[in-house]
Chains A and B, each alone.
Chain A
Amino acid sequence: MKLLARASLVLICLLAACSDEAVSEDLKISVPEVVGAYKSTASVRADRRLFDGAPPVMPHDNFGANCISCHNRQGMSVPGIGFAPPPPHSNTAPPSAMSRCQQCHIAALSEDLFRENSFVGLRQDLRKGERQNSLAPPVIPHQVLLRENCAACHTGPAAREEIRCSHPERLRCAQCHLQQRSASEFMR
C-alpha cells in the first residue's frame, strides 16, 4: 500500500516536472523594473555574515541615526547607497526586545584582522525549502524567530529572485508554510 502510494507520488511528480517548462513560462512573475535593482549578490550577502543565520554586519557606517528611520516597515531606497530593507524582526520600535539593533548588528571600523581564522561556516542553501510535491508550498528551512516579517526578504526591491514570493498579497504566510525543525528542538 505504502509502496503504491509512493510510486504514484513519484509518477505525479515526474509528470509535474515534465510539464514544468510550459507551466512556469505561463506563471512567470512579472516584476517592475526596479525590483531586484538593489539586490546584493549571494557572495556579497555571505560576506556580511559569519555563516548563514548569523546577524549581518552593518554594510555602511554607523550613521548615528535611529536605524528604524530608514529600515522601516516598507524599507527605503536611498539614492546612491542602496535599499535599506525593512527589518525581518517584529516590534523593532523601542522599547522592545528587538529595539537595540547594535546588540546583534555591528559596523566594521577597521579592515584589519587580529589573527587569521580558518572558520568555515554554513552557507546559504536556497534549495532547502523542500516541497512534499511540486504543487505543495515549500517548508520554511530556517528559524522563523527573528524573521517573523517574511516580506522583508521575500518581497521588495532587494529580494533575491530565488526566494521572491509570487503571491505577496497573501499575508498569512504561516497558513501554508511551516517551519522545519529538528527533534532536539523539542526537548525541554
Chain B
Amino acid sequence: MNEQNPAEPQRREFFKQIGAAGVVAFSARDEARLDKLVADGAMDAPQDDLNWQKAPCRFCGTGCGVMVGCKDGKVMAVRGDEASPVNRGLLCVKGYHLPAMLYGEDRLTHPQLRDGDGWKQISWDEALDLIAEKFSSTLEENGPESVAVYGSGQWGVHDGYAALKWVKGGMRSNNLDPNARLCMASAVMGFMTQFQSDEPMGCYEDLEAAEDFVLWGNNMAEMHPVLFSRMLENKRLNPGVRIVDIGTRRTPTSEYADMYMEIKPGSDLALANGVLHLLLKKKQIDRSFINENVVFKRGIEDLDEIGYGCYGENAEKYTFKDKASDSSLEELETFLADYSPEKVAEITGLQAAQIEALATMYGDQGRNTLSLWCMGVNQHTRGTWMNNLITDLHLITGKISRPGNNPFSLTGQPSACGTAREVGTLSNRLPADMVVMNAEHRATAEKIWGLEAGTINPKPGYHAVDMFRALSRGDIKAMWIQVTNPWVSMPNLNRFKRSPGDGRFIVVSDIYPTPTTDVADLILPSAGWVEREGVFGNTERRTQQWQKLAEPPGEAKEDAWQIMEVAKRMGMGNLFPWPEDDWHEAMFEEYRSFGLGIGKDLASYKELRETRGMIWPVVDGRETRYRYAAGFDPYVKKSKGVHFYKAKGYGEKAAFWLRPYHPPAEVPDDDYPFWLCTGRVLEQWHTGSMTRRIKQLHQATPTAYVEINRADATRLGIKSGDRVRLKSRRGELVLPAAVDGRGKPPAGSVFVPFFDESLLINDLTLDAMDCISKEPDYKKCAVQVAKA
C-alpha cells in the first residue's frame, strides 16, 4: 500500500471535507504523529468510506449474513452483519477471510479451449457457439440421455433454475444433478419419505430453545461454527443445557460435550433403534400424538436385495428402489426386540448405560430435545434410513415442530437447500418438491414454462455417481460442470480418470483452475459471489438475496448467463424471455410461482432485497419459523398441535419408518485392518479451490494429513509429521501423520480431510451409496496404514 504515497492529496481532501462540516478531528500533535505513520506506510491515509452492503457468506450452509465493504469495484473488507438473525454479527474464520477469495492471481478471466497440451484463449461468442453446437449434435445423434449438466449446492438460485429449465424444459433430458447429491440427498429422501415435503421444520431459534442437544455424527464446531457458537451461548446462559456428541472420533465438538458417545462406524442405526426400544419399553412415547399424527411404514430390508451400489451386480448401475408397506406400533414393538441395550452395546461399542442415558433424554417430556446432523448421517450407505430413524425418535415422543424440539438436518453448502433442493436441480426433481415421474407435476411445470404438454421427460436421469460412471462408459458424451470440482470430490476417483480427446466434450465453468478444469475441453471463467447478483437458501429455509457489489475480473460472467446464452444459440431462447440487462427479478418471480399456495411460498424478490432473508413459507409477508405447527405455520388451521399437511399420501400424517441395522459396505479385515473416514476442516471450504488461495487459511492447514490414534501410532513407530502410507483396495496415498491433532480417532481408525488436491484421499474411498438417496458414503472403508 501507499508505495507512491498517494496519501497527501487524499489527506488534504479529508481535512477539507471535515473542515467543511465544522469538525476538527485531531490536535496538531496527533496530526504530525499520524502523518508519520502514513508516510512510513504503516497506516492508510484517511480513506473514503467503503460502500457497505449485505450478502450471505459464500461458504457453508449456515448462511451467515456479512456486510461487504467495497470500493472501486473491489471487495476490501467484510464484517459480521449484526442485523442478520442467522449470526447476529459473528462469523467464522472462513467468513472473515471471504474478501481474498476473489483475488487469487490465477483467476480465470477468459474462455479457453484445449489446444493440444495447452490452452488457447477464445472469445465468448466462439465458446458459446461451440457448446451449443456440441450439445445440439450430441442430442441429435445420441438422444437426451447422452448430455448432462453437473451442478452444485453453491449455485445461486438463478443458476440452478436456468440449468433446470434448459436441461429439462429445453433439451428434454433429466441428466441434471448437483454435487449436493454427495452431501444432502439422504436428508432430502429422509424428509420426503416422512413428510412428503423436503427440508426441516425448525429454524435456528431452536438453538436457543433446546435444552438437550444430540449431535449425530456432526462436528459442528468446525462445520457449522456459528451455529455451534449459538448453542454454546445457550449453554452459558442456561447451565442445565446438555450436549451429546455421538461420533466415530473425538473432534473439537467433543470438547464441549456433556456426554461423548464413541460408536463403531455405521452402528448409529443400531443406536437409534436401541433408543426406540427403550422408549417403548419404558412407555415414554406420546400415544395421543402418534394416534393423531403418525402412520407406520416399512420398506425393503433384505441386505442382499438392497446391496451397496459399488460391487457385485450393481457395480455399474445402481437402481435399487424401496417399496413401502403399512406397519403399526405393535409391529414396531416386535421389530425392536432385536435392539435391547445389551445387544446394541455390542454392535455400537457403547456401554448400555450410555444408551439408557440417551433414551432418557429423548423420553423426558419436561425438556426440549434437538437432534442435529450433517455428513455423518447423510454420507452413509443407509443414510436415508438413518435420517428416518432420527426423525422417528421425535415422532414417537411428539417432540417435533415445537421450539427447541425438532429433528434438524444441517446442510453443508450455502445453497444446497435454496438451489439443489428447492429449485430441484436433481435428476428426478422439479421445483417445489415435484418430480419428473409424476404426470401432474410435469404438466404444472410445462404450464408455468409455457411448453407443449409432454415436453418434460418422465424418466429420471443419472444421479451424480452414475453420471460419472456413464461418462466413463461413454454413455454421456457432452457434459457441463459448474461451481464444483468432481475430480477431487467424487469417491473412488480412479474410476473416473479421463484423458481429453476421448470423444467426450467436457465444459467446466469455475473461478479458478482446478483438477477438474485440467481435464476439461473448454474452460469458462465465472463471476463469483458478489461479482454478480444472486440468491442463496440456507439450512433454516431462509432465502437470502444480494446485489452485485464488485466487478468480475477480465471477461468472467455469471453461470446463469452462460447457460441462457447457450440455450439461445440452440434455439431455446423462448425459455428465457427476459431483457438481457434485467432478468434476475423476473426469473425469480417465475420460479417462485411454483411454490405459491402449496406451503413452499418463497418471499418475493422485492421482500428479499429489503430484508436479511426470509424463512419460507412466507405468506402475506410473514415468515414461518416452525413448519406444520399451529400458531406458526399459516397452512395449519388447527388451534394447537401439528398438522403434516404436505403428506397427502399418508393422510396428512407423518410416516414413521421401521429401519433395521445393516453393516457398512466394506469393513476392516486382516488385509485392510483400519477404518478410513474422510471429511472437512474448519479453515478449508470443500476442495479448497477458494480457501487455499487465502494465505491465512492455507497456512493454517497447508496440506492434508492423516489423524491416527496414539496407540496405533506408537505400535507402528509413527510420530506426528512422519510420512504414512495409506492403502485401500482402490488406491494409495502417502501423507503426514497427525497424532493427537484436532481430531482423535479411536484405535483402529484414521481420518483424512479431502480439501487437498495434491493429496487425493478420494483415490482410496469407496463409491458405495445410500440405497435410496444414492449419496456416496465417504465415511467408511478399509485401509492399511504403515510408516512410509
- Collect the chain A residues with CB atoms within 8 Å of residue B236's CB: 91, 95-97, 99
Mostly, the B contact residues are: mixed
- Collect the chain B residues with CB atoms within 8 Å of residue A110's CB: 698-699, 702
- Collect the chain A residues with CB atoms within 8 Å of residue B82's CB: 143, 145, 185
Of residues 38 to 68 in B, which have CB atoms within 8 Å of A's CB atoms? 40-47, 49-50, 52-54, 67
Question: In the complex the two chains form, is B46's CB within 8 Å of A113's CB?
Answer: no
A82 within 8 A of B: no
A33 within 8 A of B: no
Q: Find the B residue at minimum CB distance from A20.
A: B27
Of residues 78 to 123 in A, which have CB atoms within 8 Å of B's CB atoms? 91, 94-100, 102-123
Separation of A185 and B252 alpha carbons in the complex (Å): 33
Shortest B723–chain A CB gap in Å is 16
**Residue in A10, A54, A109 whose CB lies within 8 Å of B77:** A54
- Interface size grouping (class) on chain A: 35 or more
Binds A, one of B123-131, B326-334, B344-352, B689-697: B689-697
Of residues 9 to 54 in A, which have CB atoms within 8 Å of B's CB atoms? 9-10, 13-14, 16-17, 20-21, 24, 41-43, 46, 50-54
Q: Find the B residue at minimum CB distance from A23.
A: B27
Please encode chain B, from 8 to 22, with 1 for each CB lying within 8 Å of some chain A CB and 0 for all others.
000000100011001
Question: In the complex the two chains form, is B232's CB within 8 Å of A95's CB?
Answer: yes
B556 within 8 A of A: no
Separation of A16 and B14 alpha carbons in the complex (Å): 19
Q: With A13-B23, A97-B236, A146-B89 as given contacts, are A117 and B100 in contact (CB-CB < 8 Å)?
A: yes
- Collect the chain A residues with CB atoms within 8 Å of residue B593's CB: none
- Collect the chain A residues with CB atoms within 8 Å of residue B230's CB: 97
Question: In the complex the two chains form, is A10's CB within 8 Å of B29's CB?
Answer: no
Binds A, one of B221-229, B309-317, B726-734: B221-229
Interface size on B, residues (CB 8 A): 83
Question: In the complex the two chains form, is B683's CB within 8 Å of A106's CB?
Answer: yes
Of residues 140 to 188 in A, which have CB atoms within 8 Å of B's CB atoms? 143, 145-146, 161-162, 182, 184-188
**Residue in A94, A104, A120, A185 whose CB lies within 8 Å of B1:** A120
Of residues 502 to 538 in B, which have CB atoms within 8 Å of A's CB atoms? 512
**Residue in B23, B77, B99 whose CB lies within 8 Å of A131:** B23
- Collect the chain B residues with CB atoms within 8 Å of residue A128's CB: 46
Of residues 232 to 277 in B, which have CB atoms within 8 Å of A's CB atoms? 232-233, 235-236, 252, 256
The 9 closest A-B pairs by CB, nearest first: A42-B42, A123-B44, A97-B233, A108-B699, A110-B702, A106-B700, A119-B100, A119-B103, A96-B236
Q: Besides the contacts A100-B225, A116-B106, A130-B18, what 16 more A-B pairs have beta carbons closer than 8 Å?
A: A13-B23, A16-B24, A51-B76, A97-B236, A100-B228, A108-B696, A110-B698, A115-B104, A115-B693, A127-B26, A129-B25, A132-B23, A143-B82, A185-B82, A186-B83, A188-B610
Chosen A-B contacts, 25 in total, with CB atoms closer than 8 Å, are A9-B22, A10-B22, A14-B24, A17-B24, A17-B28, A21-B28, A46-B42, A50-B99, A57-B699, A100-B221, A102-B252, A105-B93, A110-B699, A112-B699, A113-B698, A116-B106, A117-B105, A119-B694, A120-B1, A121-B77, A124-B43, A127-B34, A134-B27, A138-B25, A186-B83
Q: B interface vs A, CB < 8 Å?
A: 1, 14, 18-19, 22-30, 33-34, 37, 40-47, 49-50, 52-54, 67, 69, 74, 76-83, 89-93, 96-97, 99-100, 102-106, 221, 225, 228-230, 232-233, 235-236, 252, 256, 512, 610-612, 682-683, 688, 692-702
